């Protein structure tokens, strides 16, 4: 009984064994159509605006702008922010656009959620896992942004924009993303 | 109205200025491009927590279908548009140490949070409230990296610096052969994925 083992591994978290064939939701549109259109969008951005598709550096801009508000001397003395001065940048506005676009898509498709604990999380950790979810989300976000800055991009910047330009570093990074992600998710959800 | 520091904010010395990094029109286009991207991510199902964790558990492969078909279209487009001079490649330097170590760290965060930086924004738009916590983490983690960037670039950043050459420049084959080879390989992978799922 792996479930019993998992309960012992994470005491008090109310861990349940996920069903072997978990009922995953269906995407609204064909993933091939969506992928193809994302490929086209990437090409348009490169050819018309000389911009790489990317998201993660937008968060670094927000961090730098917030840092300047809270501790301007500390922020301004960091080498990273001297080399990449935080501003209302292309990528920051792009990320804001993503939020709006996803809202429109969910709204038109009747898929808005408004919940903190998502289904697969609930199936694994139960209703009583608000603290654990907050911790994984917050720490996960910190670790991920740290890794993205180190690797030079995220699943958009390396995973789509870099790979399709046949950049060797992007292919290395995207394989590393999935290795780290698969190991972590297996430990969290299937142990 | 263009460029940093030219906005009309006469701030006091202790109030740091928030700069527009680009002309307003360019930022507007960035917003529209982001809106299109976010719309597509949500319609493709990849703003959904279950689908994103599903790919990491190797059980639900929508994420791979989206990514690989984007890459196929992109590689095909590059093959035509770069020789025509319509696209200048914008490739980041390959630094094997940073790509591998940073990549694995990123993956651990992805497994914990369940969203990546782009899909986290899409998940927020969709109404997944846990993604808001995740975005707070992304901002904090970016600052943490900025605090440690120097020692990292002096160590891991020195391992395996390979410059910004593309696979088409490195492999001893004509660029078009490399591109077509990649496309064929990815289409085969997509076909296998479609068969097993």
Q: What is the pLDDT of residues B168-184, one digit of tens each?
A: 999 999 999 999 999 99
Q: Is the ipTM of this structure higher than 0.90? A: yes
Contact B126 A111 (CB under 8 A): yes
Q: Tell me how far apart the alpha carbons of residues B23 and B27 are, in angstroms, rounded to a whole number.
A: 6
Per DSSP, the three-state class of A176 is helix
Q: Tell me how far apart the alpha carbons of residues A148 and B137 are, in angstroms, rounded to a whole number.
A: 13
Kindly state whether residue A18 falls inside one of the protein's structural domains. Answer: no
Query: pLDDT at position B1, please?
Result: 35
Cβ-Cβ contacts under 8 Å, A91 against chain B: 30
Q: Tell me how far apart the alpha carbons of residues A73 and A10 are, in angstroms, rounded to a whole number.
A: 42
Please list the alpha-helical segments (H only) found in B45-129: 49-56, 62-81, 96-113, 117-126
CB-CB contact of B2 with B21 (8 Å): no
Give the residue from A146, A172, A182, A190 with the most B CB atoms within 10 Å of its CB, the best one to mutate: A146
Residues of chain B with pLDDT under 50: 1-15
Q: What is the pLDDT of residues A111-168, one digit of tens each?
A: 999 999 999 999 999 999 999 999 999 999 999 999 999 999 999 999 999 999 999 9
Kindly state whether residue A14 falls inside one of the protein's structural domains. Answer: no
Kindly state whether residue A20 falls inside one of the protein's structural domains. Answer: no
Query: pLDDT at position A13, please?
Result: 53
Q: At residue A59, does pLDDT exceed 70?
A: yes
> Rounded to two decimals, what is the model's pTM?
0.92
- For the record, the structure tokens of A150 come out as 């180190």
Cβ-Cβ contacts under 8 Å, A97 against chain B: 30-38
CA nearest to A18 within chain B? B57
Kindly state whether residue A116 falls inside one of the protein's structural domains. Answer: yes
Q: Tell me how far apart the alpha carbons of residues A39 and A53 are, in angstroms, rounded to a whole number.
A: 10
Burial (CB count within 10 angstroms: exposed 0-12, middle 13-18, buried 19+), residue A186? middle
CB-hemisphere CA count at 13 Å for B136? 10
Domain with A34 in it? 4-8+25-189
CB-CB contact of A145 with A80 (8 Å): no
Kindly state whether residue A19 falls inside one of the protein's structural domains. Answer: no
Question: Cα-Cα-Cα-Cα dihedral of A109, A115, A117, A122, to 10°?
Answer: -60
Kindly state whether residue A15 falls inside one of the protein's structural domains. Answer: no
> A20: pLDDT confidence band, cut at 50, 70 and 90?
confident
Query: pLDDT at position B19, please?
Result: 77
Distance from CA of A132 to the nearest CA of B (A): 10
Contact B37 A97 (CB under 8 A): yes
Query: pLDDT at position A191, please?
Result: 87
> A4: pLDDT confidence band, cut at 50, 70 and 90?
very low
CA angle A41, B174, B74 (to 5 degrees): 10
Per the structure, the count of domains in chain A is 1
User: Given CB atoms, is B159 within the 8 Å cutoff of chain A?
Assistant: no
Distance from CA of A14 to the nearest CA of B (A): 17
Kindly state whether residue A13 falls inside one of the protein's structural domains. Answer: no
Kindly state whether residue A55 falls inside one of the protein's structural domains. Answer: yes
Cβ-Cβ contacts under 8 Å, A190 against chain B: 57
Q: At residue A55, does pLDDT exceed 70?
A: yes
């Amino acid at each position: 009984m792996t479930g019993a083992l998992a309960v012992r591994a994470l005491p008090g978290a109310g861990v349940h064994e996920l069903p072997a064939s978990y009922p995953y939701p269906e995407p609204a549109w064909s993933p091939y159509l969506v992928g193809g259109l994302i490929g086209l969008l990437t090409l348009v951005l490169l050819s018309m605006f000389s911009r790489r598709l990317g998201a993660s550096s937008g968060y670094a801009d927000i961090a730098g702008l917030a840092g300047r508000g809270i501790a301007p001397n500390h922020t301004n003395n960091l080498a990273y922010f001297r080399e990449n001065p935080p501003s209302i940048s292309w990528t920051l506005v792009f990320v804001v656009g993503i939020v709006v676009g996803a809202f429109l898509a969910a709204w038109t498709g009747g898929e808005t959620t408004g919940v903190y604990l998502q289904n697969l999380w609930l199936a694994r950790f139960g209703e009583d896992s608000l603290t654990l979810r907050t911790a994984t989300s917050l720490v996960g976000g910190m670790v991920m942004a740290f890794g993205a800055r180190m690797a030079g991009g995220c699943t958009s910047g390396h995973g789509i924009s870099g790979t399709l330009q046949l950049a060797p570093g992007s292919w290395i990074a995207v394989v590393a993303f999935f290795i780290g992600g698969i190991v972590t998710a297996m430990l969290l959800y299937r142990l | 109205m263009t460029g940093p520091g030219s906005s009309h904010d006469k701030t006091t010395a202790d109030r740091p200025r928030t700069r527009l990094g680009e002309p307003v029109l360019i930022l507007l286009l960035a917003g529209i491009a982001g809106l299109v991207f976010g719309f597509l991510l949500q319609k493709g199902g990849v703003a959904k927590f279950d689908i994103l964790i599903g790919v990491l558990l190797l059980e639900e492969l929508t994420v791979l279908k989206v990514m690989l078909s984007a890459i196929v279209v992109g590689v095909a487009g590059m093959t035509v548009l770069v020789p025509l001079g319509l696209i200048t490649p914008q490739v980041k330097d390959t630094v094997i140490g940073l790509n591998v170590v940073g990549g694995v760290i990123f993956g651990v965060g992805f497994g914990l949070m369940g969203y990546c930086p782009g899909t986290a924004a899409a998940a927020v738009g969709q109404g997944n409230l846990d993604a808001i916590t995740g975005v707070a983490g992304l901002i904090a983690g970016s600052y943490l990296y900025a605090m440690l960037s120097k020692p990292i670039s002096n160590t891991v950043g020195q391992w395996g610096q390979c410059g910004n050459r593309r696979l088409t420049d490195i492999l001893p084959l004509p660029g078009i052969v490399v591109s077509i080879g990649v496309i064929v390989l990815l289409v085969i992978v997509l076909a296998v994925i479609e068969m097993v799922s």
